[in-house]
Amino acid sequence: MTQSLNDPVTSLKGIGKTAGEQLETLGIHTIEELVMMFPYRHEDFRLKDLSETPHEERVTIEGRVESIPSVLFTGKKRSRLQVQLLVGNHLIKAVFFNQHYLKDRLNPGQVVTITGKWDRGRQLINVSNFKEGPKIGQADFEPVYSLKGVMKQPTFRRWMRTALDEVADEMPETLPEQLLETYKLPRLSATLEMVHFPSSPDDVKQARRRVVYEELLHFQLKMAALKKVRKEAGKGISITYDLEKLKQFIEKLPFDLTGAQKRVVNELCAELKSPLRMNRLLQGDVGSGKTVVAAIALYAAITAGYQGALMAPTEILAEQHAETLASWLEPFGVTVAFLSGSTKGKARKEIVSRLEIGEIDLLIGTHALIQPDVNFHRLGLVITDEQHRFGVEQRRVLRDKGESPDVLFMTATPIPRTLAITVFGEMDVSILDEMPAGRKEIETHWLKEDSLGPVLRRMEKELQAGRQAYVICPLIEESDTLDVQNAVEVFGQLSTYFAGRFTVGLMHGRLHSDEKDEVMRAFSEGTIDCLVSTTVVEVGVNVPNATFMLIYDATRFGLAQLHQLRGRVGRGADQSYCVLLADPKTEEGKERMLTMAETNDGFLLAEKDLELRGSGDFFGKKQSGLPEFKMADLIHDYRALETARQDAEKMLELDSFWNDSEYASLRATVEASGVLKNERID
Ligand code: ADP
Ligand code: MG
């Protein structure tokens, strides 16, 4: 009897109710889901020559037992078994931890196969894998799956064997013949065998090539479909702004625009005017001056009789934007209002109703802007700041509030250009790649944690000169509570240290929003000299008089985040400093600190971060709205990503794509996104 892919795993021989439940915790219900669960790496069990094996490398060898094993008990359940092995003509030691019972199976003269870490200096292998007899019969490569400790690897492999034996021949091919041929990709059934039971490294490589390409092709098909719809069917509004008024506004700004700001303003204006719907990403490193660009674009929409909205991820930032934009725009007759979760009762009602009849030109706020009862009269342009903090869904809701407003996402997350264009394939990208004139590079120093004393004295010098400082406390992953505790502690210490000389303030996520406002206002007015904070100040706040930042335990942050934090200083004309206190334990950690000290360029840092951490971590899984891939990595598989993009775009134009059964699996992806339906009827 053969089974179908959609049958539950429990219909397989040897997989009972308990096993079924275990698999369920891994998200596996059907046979198909089981065979499509890919290992995250493969273990290499090929026999190696010890004389060519580097120190600390894992190695598999065959050896003959040469001594009576000795066992040392080091605790209740702890033991250390040691035995001598002859490997070729090498006499080495093998050490087994907590496996004293193997003593009886290690008799002199007996041949064994072991795998473990090679200690070259001590000529010793720390054994992790043991098999009696020569290696024959043991696989050269074994997949290692992410099983979350639910079951053992061999058990899982056994089930995989059963499943593959049942369905391998029935696996319908999901890629069209022509693609398999062009790229010399293995067929799906062969691919699964090669992934789960490889016999050579090349098997793994070929199988991976296919899986990666297929994943990326699905992803790019979705992107291509979205883009096509937007370009062909996406009717937007044409915003005919008043150029004279815009010029006057720019003239009255307290500074001249940078060349990059002018270029981006022109890009935005051209798109506002065109009847195509704007869907654009504006990238600019911290401090590059995105806010004023947003203000100009919003004012443009307002001069054409539309309303504008600006949404920020935190209350603090939203308020600051409201203040800044009001100070620039109100003199030009623009009515600005602020709306956040803490705007309540009568005040809120009034804003909502004035917005609806069009008395408010510009609404600035937090997520509160997209609550169901907030309706605009004539929304023309929506801008979100630090867009990666917004979910895809929220963006859609906001977009749906107007007829079809233009949308601009601003971000300081410096996504490398090449990647941005491909990944945000359905968006256009503008880049602010120039800092306002007169900015000095922030001086960044990496110091060991025992240098706190001198650092504080240096900070004090800045405070004495009338400047202000940020002190960022270590981030404790997944624990708000500990974050806060930490900040409170540091706040206590610094308050004592600076007692009678300088005012220390405290900011963290647990404060009430009005408390936060108060602290932030006091800091920006200069009543607070030194602000102790968690990462809540990370995004966007602007206090140009702050010239010193101390970051505790800096290794806990990623490069991109450190750069964001550092961007809170260096926003005025004075020289600014950033001190990273860190005792990194790993080489990678050291490299990160050195990189931070060396470069101020967010884009370079982003490339480095990607290199060190991979794309999944970089974008942050939840925030990005990017799909998760089983095998593909947006950085390492960049070439395949680009190939897939070109293929996807061509494919949508093929008649066969819409008709042939070969394309059924790929077509399903496009259809599931729902975007092409209307268009095909035309
Ligand atoms: P970000 O891009 O990080 O959001 P902001 O828009 O907050 O940066 O700008 C940072 C600081 O630079 C602000 O104080 C802003 O007023 C100032 N700024 C912006 N553009 C210019 C310019 N062209 N010349 C001088 N200062 C500018
Ligand atoms: Mg900003």
From atom 5 of ligand 1, which residue's Cα is the shortest distance away? Answer: 289
Ligand 1 site, residue 533, Cβ cutoff 6 A: no
List, in sequence order, every residue forming a beta bridge with 118; answer none if it has no partner: 125
Ligand 1 site, residue 542, Cβ cutoff 6 A: yes
Q: Is the pLDDT of residue 234 over 60?
A: no
Ligand 1 site, residue 546, Cβ cutoff 6 A: no
What 3-state DSSP class applies to 550? strand
Q: Is the pLDDT of residue 620 over 50?
A: no
Residue 129 vs residues 43, 94, 100, 120, 138: alpha-carbon distances, Å? 11, 11, 14, 18, 11
CA 286 – ligand 2 centroid, Å: 7
Would you state the pLDDT for residue 439?
Answer: 82
From atom 24 of ligand 1, which residue's Cα is the shortest distance away? Answer: 436
State CA 351 to chain mean position distance.
Answer: 36
Give the number of whichever ligand sits closest to the CA of residue 540.
2
Given a contact cutoff of 8 angstroms between Cβ atoms, the answer to whether 258 and 434 are in contact is yes
Given a contact cutoff of 8 angstroms between Cβ atoms, the answer to whether 299 and 253 are in contact is no
Would you state the pLDDT for residue 520?
Answer: 86
Give the number of whichever ligand sits closest to the CA of residue 542.
1
- Cα separation, 493 vs 223, whole angstroms: 52
The contacts of residue 139 (CB under 8 Å, 6+ apart) are 45, 197, 199
Atom of ligand 1 nearest to the CA of 571: 11
| 87-135 pLDDT tens trace | 988 899 999 999 988 999 999 999 999 999 999 999 999 998 898 888 8
More confident residue, 646 or 258: 258
Residue 154 vs residues 26, 143, 146, 612: alpha-carbon distances, Å? 16, 10, 13, 32
Q: Identify the sign of the CA torsion 621, 627, 632, 638.
A: negative
- Cα separation, 306 vs 110, whole angstroms: 86
Q: Is the pLDDT of residue 619 over 60?
A: no
Give the Cα-Cα-Cα angle 345, 348, 354 (nearest 5 degrees). Answer: 135
What 3-state DSSP class applies to 446? strand
Give the number of whichever ligand sits closest to the CA of residue 283.
1
Would you state the pLDDT for residue 37?
Answer: 92
- Cα separation, 489 vs 474, whole angstroms: 11
Q: How confident is the model at residue 678 (pLDDT cuts 50, 70, 90)?
A: very low
Give the number of whichever ligand sits closest to the CA of residue 570.
1
More confident residue, 665 or 620: 665
- Cα separation, 439 vs 420, whole angstroms: 27
Would you state the pLDDT for residue 122?
Answer: 92
CA 287 – ligand 1 centroid, Å: 5
Atom of ligand 1 nearest to the CA of 261: 23
- Provide the token pair at 208: 């991976």
DSSP 96-165: EES-GGGGGG--TT-EEEEEEEEETTTTEEEEEEEEES-STTS-SEEEE---TTSS-HHHHHHHHHHHHH
CA 366 – ligand 2 centroid, Å: 14
Question: What is the rounded average pLDDT of the residues 529-545?
Answer: 83
Give the Cα-Cα-Cα angle 244, 246, 248 (nearest 5 degrees). Answer: 70
499: buried, middle or exposed (CB in 10 Å: 19+, 13-18, 0-12)?
exposed
DSSP 566-628: HTTSS-SSS--EEEEE----SHHHHHHHHHHHH---HHHHHHHHHHHHHHHHHH-HHHH-PPP
- Cα separation, 644 vs 649, whole angstroms: 9
- Cα separation, 149 vs 152, whole angstroms: 7
Residue from 563, 571, 516 nearest 538 by CA: 563
- Provide the token pair at 308: 């504008």
Ligand 1 site, residue 288, Cβ cutoff 6 A: yes
CA 656 – ligand 2 centroid, Å: 47
Question: What is the rounded average pLDDT of the residues 356-360?
Answer: 96
Pick from 261, 291, 323 the residue to mutate for probing ligand 1's pocket: most ligand atoms within 8 Å of its CB: 291
The contacts of residue 59 (CB under 8 Å, 6+ apart) are 48, 50, 53, 115, 116, 117, 118, 125
Question: What is the rounded average pLDDT of the residues 283-301?
Answer: 93
Strand arrangement of the beta sheet that strand 406-411 belongs to: 336-339, 362-365, 307-311, 379-385, 406-411, 279-284, 428-432
- Cα separation, 131 vs 153, whole angstroms: 16
- Cα separation, 484 vs 465, whole angstroms: 30
- Cα separation, 185 vs 484, whole angstroms: 53
What is the average pLDDT value for the chain, to the nearest integer?
86
- The helix (H) or strand (E) run that includes residue 469 is strand 468-472
Would you state the pLDDT for residue 624?
Answer: 43
Ligand 1 site, residue 40, Cβ cutoff 6 A: no
User: For residue 73, which phi and psi values (nearest 5 degrees)?
Assistant: -90, 125
Q: How confident is the model at residue 418 (pLDDT cuts 50, 70, 90)?
A: low
Q: Is the pLDDT of residue 676 over 60?
A: no
Ligand 1 site, residue 570, Cβ cutoff 6 A: no
- The helix (H) or strand (E) run that includes residue 477 is none
Ligand 1 site, residue 261, Cβ cutoff 6 A: yes
Most confident range, picked from 308-322, 326-340, 514-528: 326-340
Q: Is the pLDDT of residue 362 over 80?
A: yes
Radius of gyration (C-alpha) of the chain in whole angstroms = 31
Q: What is the DSSP letter of 411?
A: E
Residue 19 vs residues 23, 32, 46, 156: alpha-carbon distances, Å? 6, 16, 31, 10
Given a contact cutoff of 8 angstroms between Cβ atoms, the answer to whether 287 and 435 are in contact is yes
Would you state the pLDDT for residue 284?
Answer: 87
Question: What is the rounded average pLDDT of the residues 174-203?
Answer: 94
Ligand 1 site, residue 289, Cβ cutoff 6 A: yes
Would you state the pLDDT for residue 397?
Answer: 72
**Percentage of the chain modeled with pLDDT above 90:** 50
Q: Identify the sign of the CA torsion 36, 37, 42, 47.
A: negative
CA 536 – ligand 2 centroid, Å: 14
From atom 19 of ligand 1, which residue's Cα is the shortest distance away? Answer: 289
CA 292 – ligand 1 centroid, Å: 7
Give the number of whichever ligand sits closest to the CA of residue 256.
1
Atom of ligand 1 nearest to the CA of 286: 3
Q: How confident is the model at residue 634 (pLDDT cuts 50, 70, 90)?
A: confident
Would you state the pLDDT for residue 458?
Answer: 96
Return the residue matching tokens 């506002």: 272
Residue 118 vs residues 124, 129, 377: alpha-carbon distances, Å? 6, 13, 71
Q: What is the DSSP letter of 62?
A: E
- Cα separation, 57 vs 125, whole angstroms: 10
Q: Is the pLDDT of residue 621 over 60?
A: no
Ligand 1 site, residue 227, Cβ cutoff 6 A: no
Would you state the pLDDT for residue 416?
Answer: 61
Q: Is the pLDDT of residue 332 over 60?
A: yes
Q: How confident is the model at residue 165 (pLDDT cuts 50, 70, 90)?
A: very high
Give the number of whichever ligand sits closest to the CA of residue 566.
1
Would you state the pLDDT for residue 341?
Answer: 87
Q: Which residues of 315-324 are buried (b: 16+ CB within 10 A; e: fewer)?
A: bbbbbbbbbb
More confident residue, 293 or 344: 293
- Provide the token pair at 602: 């967010």
| 21-62 pLDDT tens trace | 999 999 999 999 999 999 988 888 888 889 888 888 889 999
Q: Is the pLDDT of residue 613 over 70?
A: no
CA 435 – ligand 1 centroid, Å: 8
